[in-house]
Structure 1
Amino acid sequence: MSNSNVETVSSTVDRVKMGLAVLVIVAGIVAYSMLEGQPTLLRAGVFVGSLVIAAVIAWFSEPGRRTLSFGRDSYNEVKRVVWPTRKETTQMTGIVFVFVIAMGLLLWVVDKVLEWVIYGLLLGWN
């Protein structure tokens, strides 16, 4: 069996698994809607159960394993982030507010100058 054929079979099987996972989620949504007269806990349980079953089906596919690996790597990366202290966060927020106010004032001044030039000098409207 050639390598290309193995990839096609694996890819086709993965597509079927992902399609089945989507169908399970759709079935959960439909079941939630059809159980309208039942207690909310039962309806939510059926929907959450469909999500869990879909996740298990997807996990056994190559894209599912890659997604799980990506999630693990992302979580490990977040643990390595150096978060700013409360003081640093407050200072940076203050700097942003001051900058926004300064830019607002600058744009207001530029607008008024352009208004004066266009209407006052060029068009002669006072």
Structure 2
Amino acid sequence: MSNSNVETVTSTADRIKMGLAVLVIVAGIVGYSVLEGQPTIARVGVFLAGLVVAGIIAWFSEPGRRTMSFGRDAYNETKRVVWPTRKEATQMTGIVFVFVVVIGILLWVVDKGLAWAIYGLLLGWK
């Protein structure tokens, strides 16, 4: 069996764990709705608790561990990115704004030209 097939195949136990995690999230959403008359902090707390418990359940499954590993790798990759300086970011933002304005003017000119050609010349409207 190739490595790519092994990564997508999960055991029945992992499927049960992931299904249970989804059910816990649904229970958190239902709990949020059922506690409509309660303070907002209690409702949000029930929902967040459902998310935390679902995360813990998912952590103990192979797909959950792979997802956490992916998240860790993505975080480490963002630390290696060379981010632009404030000056570079400001300059690039300015270039984008100028480009948008120029293209907007160009499209307006083309639109007015086509309107003049179609309505004025072809249809004879004034």
Task: Output the TM-score relative to the length of structure 1.
Answer: 0.80
What residue is the counterpart of 1:11 in the other structure? 11
Letter in 1 for 2:104: G
Q: Could you report, residue by residue, the CA deviation over 1:11-50 in whole angstroms, capped at 9, with x for unpaired residues? A: 2111100111111222223333334454444443333222
| Secondary structure of residue in 2 paired with 1:83 | coil
Unmatched runs of 5 consecutive residues or more in structure 2: 1-8
RMSD, aligned α-carbons? 2.2
What's the CA shift for 1:58? 0.5
Range with greater deviation from structure 2 (28-37 or 12-21) = 28-37
Distance 1:12 1:67 in 2: 18
Aligned partners of 2:28, 2:69: CA distance in 1, in Å? Answer: 26
Q: Structure 1 pair 125/10, CA: closer, same or farther in 2 (3 Å)?
A: closer
**Count of aligned pairs between the two proteins:** 119
Q: C-alpha offsets along residues 36-88 of structure 1, whole Å, 9 cap, x if unaligned?
A: 45444444333322222111111111110110001000000111111111111
One-letter code of the match for 2:29?
Answer: I
Match of 1:112 in 2: 112
Gaps spanning 5+ residues in structure 1: where? 1-8
1:64–1:106: structure 2 CA closer, same or farther, 3 Å change rule? same
Identity %: 78
Instruction: Tell me: CA distance 1:27–1:87, structure 2 relative to 1, closer, same or farther (3 Å).
Output: same
